[in-house]
Structure 1
Amino acid sequence: MTLDALRLEVPDILEEDAAPLADLNERLAQARSLPHEDALQQLLGLLFRLNRNAMTLLERQRALQNCSDEYRHYAAVYLEGKLPSPLFVRLCNELAIGFKRLLLQILKGRQPSRPHLAWCLYMAQHFLAHSLLRHYQLYQEPPPSLWRDSHLLYWIGEHQECLDEPVAAAFQPAPASTLRGLYQQMLLLALSNPFHLAEGECPQLFGALAPLAGLARLLPWDDEGDSEAPIVDLTESQPCLGYAQQPDGSRDVLRRFELGALLVALHDPAPLQSAHERQLLERVQHHWMGQQQRRHPREEFDVACNLLVGLPAIHAQLLEQRPCSSPAQMLDASTGGARLLCHPDQAAQVAVGQLVLLLTGSATPRLALVRWRHLNIEGLHLGLHYLKGLAKPVWLRRAPSAQTHSGILQSTPTPGNGWLHGLWLPNGEFGEGENLWLQQANVHNQVIMPLPPANLSTASVTRHPLQLA
């Protein structure tokens, strides 16, 4: 997928030379004096015309801000549980159209400031989120275009590096305060089996998710085959792939919806959370992981262990050089991974995507990746994903006698007598196709090889598949 915002669903411009509505504020004020449904019809007609007229960026932005203020006024009627009317749902859709068109104008102009672009992306996503909410509130299936545009807005924000730009938005029910949080709030709402909620619970759940949704993370998808997280395809017309669906999109449009930190945070003290919101979150959370909430049965533990963090420390440990390790408590584990509780001071050293080595009472250490982390009053919670096979230290050189670089060889036996090998390297140390000399511990000969394309990458390390004799 290329960064093509023109794929956003917006109607054609019908009036190229039409003057903007100079009396817009006056007509909006007049609409407020009408009965609620008549006022909505009046506002919707004005906004419909604005969205199909040619306007300057500043004119469109001011008009949309005024219409957003009117939206807050008319939305207040539905805060006490009254079901939204079809006109109000259309108003959400039309406001989303307006901000998508404004976004197109911003992207076609000069380089926008990050806060300005983040605000526009957020507002477009916000009204899509409220359209989604109102459809679920009415027990109606949202239109497929809603998810296509939502995925694309997230993807633009990801590439423009403004997913975590804070936006002040005084709407009710409360949205998350960043584009990342708002988009993930939508995903979580969709995964909560919303058509089975009681009347009035959908807006309550949406508000309860607001302070928590940003803790989840959409991470690059990998084909390790035992991930428990939902998979998002940013080109699909659905929130997440069904659990029976196999990802068939290209790797760059697939994301793994990592919920580990969020699931831990659900049990943290939350003074502003009502008892009903807490009960509602507890009731829906099992839906977020589908019927296969845990692909591997887990056992609870309270076992002391040690953690080696980062490729250099792991390399030294495998050579029995006894580098400094970090103490931790294993809280639960399965064949696929483990959850650890560490001292909060370790938060600065342990990042998501970090390669770690877990030392327990068993003779064989476990190579793993940090999938998620969450810091609370108990300490630093880490979710580890075990990497199959044996970890061995290797050295790499650009020439037979050149400077050595450390690497980790992950070797997994295959049926028969074969092995699958993966070479873990720090990001950016070598380039794809570069000729390297590889030497294993206790082996005098060096093997020359071109570095193949990576088959798994994180923010810290990259794994390259190898064919070794």
Structure 2
Amino acid sequence: MTLDALRLEVPDILEDATASLSDLNEQLAQARLQPQETALQLILSLLFRLNRSAMTLLERQRALQSFSDQFHHYAAGYSADTPPPALFVHLCGELAIGFKRLLLQIVQSRHPSRPHLAWCLYMAQHFLAQSLLRHYQRYHEPPPHLWRDSHLLYWIGEHQECLDEPVAASFTPQPANTLRGLYQQMLLVALSNPFHLAEGECLKLFGALAQLAALPRLLPWDEEDDTEGPTVDLSESQACLGYSHSPDGDIAYLRRFELGALLIALHEPAPLQSAEERRLLDQVQHHWLGRQQRRHPRAEHVVQCDLVVGLPAIHAHLLKHLPPCAPAQMLDASPGGARLLCHPDLAAQLAVGQLVLLLASSNTTTLGLVRWRHINEEGLHLGLRYLKGLPRPVWLRRAPNAQTHPGVLQSTPAPGNGWHHGLWLPSGQFGEGENLWLQLPSVNNQTTLPLPAANLSTQAVARHPLQMP
């Protein structure tokens, strides 16, 4: 394979496609007056026609700048906590197509300037990055062509010596300000097990990497180099090769992703970095070197089962109140967890970090946490981490006669005659050190306890270690 700009995936110019540019800005302004979904359909239709119409380089550039301004407007409605609809993801893809076609026109012009070429490469890469991020945000597998084109844009930038040309771009989440940084920002997100991240964390991680992503370097491949680090094959349709995969492609397209400078910088003071961003970077960095979290081998184990979803429903089930259950199919299992397949409509309930109770066909009940999720044509795949111990319902009060709040007590035998207890509560419901009254269903008395700091927490629930008689 020869990597060159002509291999970029762009649709053909259609003879019957004509884009009216004279009133384009007026049409875009009129679209803003419509409801969000209708507006997205209108501008997507306009951009679709423009990308398949013949026009001069200057005409296309001005039109795409107008659509980039519209992107700012519509992207503001889809924050980290609000997954975008498919129409918005399609808009990201069409914007990438537009800038790839503009890039072809620039490359084919006689004397393209380096800043102009760097800007167009960057804009095409940015909208590919947006498309990838929005797929991850929706827990959908990105199409392979996104990585093929991303690698190719990096290759062009490398050969045109404009990887480190600064580009001013005020997008959200914040991208790195060079083509090298932006491309490596995408690689690092892909290496971070994005389907294991909780709702909204993918976009936050991308922003947290903006000031750091240019520090690593993609080095030429050396078979004798046995240092740790991912391998990138610029001719493949994936971010990086698996660690168990022996590179067999053309050595000219192989790169060693050297992360040393980044790993050092992660531990340096960063005043503009939030505590949440630092937590995310600490959480994912071990994935960059291929250190996976799975401790137990999985074995195929296909059985039908049910899920009780969320702490209130689990509390009700443990009290024999029989709340609604979600049907699921267990696909494989290990002592530490299982992989389940559910209906995709359950995605809103089964976020990463949700507490569930697994009801197997043998009438066994197991408390678990959703560790990752992924949606494809088969349905919603869940990675479940088992929480060992006996789950029991408890009530919590802020005063002896105050309103009751549901909780779940997870108890495991300790060496000797004691027990280890973990109290599961909704995240943020009670504060550390707050005095609570706890009552078990079979006990009339209430136990007073100061709530200790959580030793495990997600966006949905938190577990507090308890010392109880």
TM-score, length-normalised on structure 2? 0.61
Structure 2 partner of 1:28:
28
SS of equivalent to 1:68: helix
Q: CA deviation at 1:229?
A: 1.1
Structure 2 partner of 1:290:
290
User: In the alignment, is the contact (CA less than 8 A) between 1:118 and 1:165 conserved in 2?
Assistant: yes
Structure 2 partner of 1:115:
115
Q: CA deviation at 1:226?
A: 1.5
| CA deviation profile, 1:170-211 (whole Å, cap 9, x unmatched) | 100000000000000000000000000000111100000110
Task: Give yes or no for the alignment of 1:63 onto 2:63.
Answer: yes
* Corresponding letter in the other structure for 2:232: V
Take 1:269 and 1:131, find their aligned partners in 2: how far apart are those partners?
31
SS of equivalent to 2:219: strand
Take 2:80 and 2:185, find their aligned partners in 1: how far apart are those partners?
21
SS of equivalent to 1:77: coil
Task: Give yes or no for the alignment of 1:75 onto 2:75.
Answer: yes
SS of equivalent to 1:218: strand
User: In the alignment, is the contact (CA less than 8 A) between 2:18 and 2:49 conserved in 1?
Assistant: no
Structure 2 partner of 1:38:
38
Take 2:131 and 2:80, find their aligned partners in 1: how far apart are those partners?
18
* Corresponding letter in the other structure for 1:259: L
* Corresponding letter in the other structure for 1:260: G
Structure 1 partner of 2:322:
none
SS of equivalent to 1:110: coil
Structure 2 partner of 1:313:
none
Q: CA deviation at 1:225?
A: 5.0
Take 1:240 and 1:6, find their aligned partners in 2: how far apart are those partners?
23
User: In the alignment, is the contact (CA less than 8 A) between 1:184 and 1:213 conserved in 2?
Assistant: yes
SS of equivalent to 2:76: helix
Structure 1 partner of 2:204:
204
Task: Give yes or no for the alignment of 1:14 onto 2:14.
Answer: yes
Structure 2 partner of 1:131:
131
User: In the alignment, is the contact (CA less than 8 A) between 1:20 and 1:55 conserved in 2?
Assistant: no
Take 2:17 and 2:199, find their aligned partners in 1: how far apart are those partners?
46
Superposed, 1:238-253 pairs within 5 Å as: 238-253=238-253
User: In the alignment, is the contact (CA less than 8 A) between 1:175 and 1:210 conserved in 2?
Assistant: yes
SS of equivalent to 2:286: helix
Structure 2 partner of 1:92:
92
* Corresponding letter in the other structure for 1:126: H
Take 2:161 and 2:16, find their aligned partners in 1: how far apart are those partners?
33
* Corresponding letter in the other structure for 1:61: Q
Q: CA deviation at 1:292?
A: 7.9
Superposed, 1:216-235 pairs within 5 Å as: 216-224=216-224, 226-235=226-235
| CA deviation profile, 1:34-54 (whole Å, cap 9, x unmatched) | 001110000100000000000
* Corresponding letter in the other structure for 2:246: Q
Superposed, 1:174-185 pairs within 5 Å as: 174-185=174-185
Take 1:84 and 1:17, find their aligned partners in 2: how far apart are those partners?
29
Task: Give yes or no for the alignment of 1:278 onto 2:278.
Answer: yes
Of the structure 1 ranges 260-269 and 219-228, higher mean CA displacement relative to structure 2 is found in: 219-228
Superposed, 1:46-445 pairs within 5 Å as: 46-79=46-79, 81-224=81-224, 226-291=226-291
User: In the alignment, is the contact (CA less than 8 A) between 1:20 and 1:53 conserved in 2?
Assistant: no
SS of equivalent to 2:77: helix
| CA deviation profile, 1:405-438 (whole Å, cap 9, x unmatched) | xxxxxxxxxxxxxxxxxxxxxxxxxxxxxxxxxx
| CA deviation profile, 1:90-130 (whole Å, cap 9, x unmatched) | 00000000000000000111121000000000000000000
Q: CA deviation at 1:78?
A: 1.2
User: In the alignment, is the contact (CA less than 8 A) between 2:19 and 2:49 conserved in 1?
Assistant: no
* Corresponding letter in the other structure for 1:161: E
Take 2:108 and 2:239, find their aligned partners in 1: how far apart are those partners?
28
Q: Percent of aligned pairs with the same residue? A: 76
Gaps of 5+ in 2: 294-469
User: In the alignment, is the contact (CA less than 8 A) between 1:16 and 1:54 conserved in 2?
Assistant: no
| CA deviation profile, 1:349-373 (whole Å, cap 9, x unmatched) | xxxxxxxxxxxxxxxxxxxxxxxxx
SS of equivalent to 1:213: coil
Q: CA deviation at 1:4?
A: 2.0
Take 2:5 and 2:20, find their aligned partners in 1: how far apart are those partners?
25
Aligned pairs, number: 293
SS of equivalent to 1:227: coil
Take 2:237 and 2:17, find their aligned partners in 1: how far apart are those partners?
35
Gaps of 5+ in 1: 294-469
Q: CA deviation at 1:89?
A: 0.1
Take 2:2 and 2:118, find their aligned partners in 1: how far apart are those partners?
19
Structure 2 partner of 1:459:
none
Q: CA deviation at 1:163?
A: 0.1
RMSD between aligned alpha carbons? 1.4
Evaluate the alpha carbon distance shift between residue 190 and residue 19 of structure 1 in structure 2; reply closer, same or farther with a 3 A threshold. Answer: closer
* Corresponding letter in the other structure for 2:41: Q
Q: CA deviation at 1:19?
A: 5.6
SS of equivalent to 2:228: coil
| CA deviation profile, 1:226-271 (whole Å, cap 9, x unmatched) | 2211000000000000011111111110000000000000011111
* Corresponding letter in the other structure for 1:215: L
SS of equivalent to 2:10: coil
SS of equivalent to 2:255: strand
* Corresponding letter in the other structure for 1:153: L
* Corresponding letter in the other structure for 1:251: I
Evaluate the alpha carbon distance shift between residue 34 and residue 292 of structure 1 in structure 2; reply closer, same or farther with a 3 A threshold. Answer: closer
* Corresponding letter in the other structure for 1:184: Q
SS of equivalent to 1:232: strand
SS of equivalent to 1:256: strand
Take 2:150 and 2:171, find their aligned partners in 1: how far apart are those partners?
19
TM-score, length-normalised on structure 1? 0.61
Take 1:254 and 1:47, find their aligned partners in 2: how far apart are those partners?
35
| CA deviation profile, 1:386-408 (whole Å, cap 9, x unmatched) | xxxxxxxxxxxxxxxxxxxxxxx
Q: CA deviation at 1:17?
A: 7.8
* Corresponding letter in the other structure for 2:148: R
Q: CA deviation at 1:80?
A: 5.6
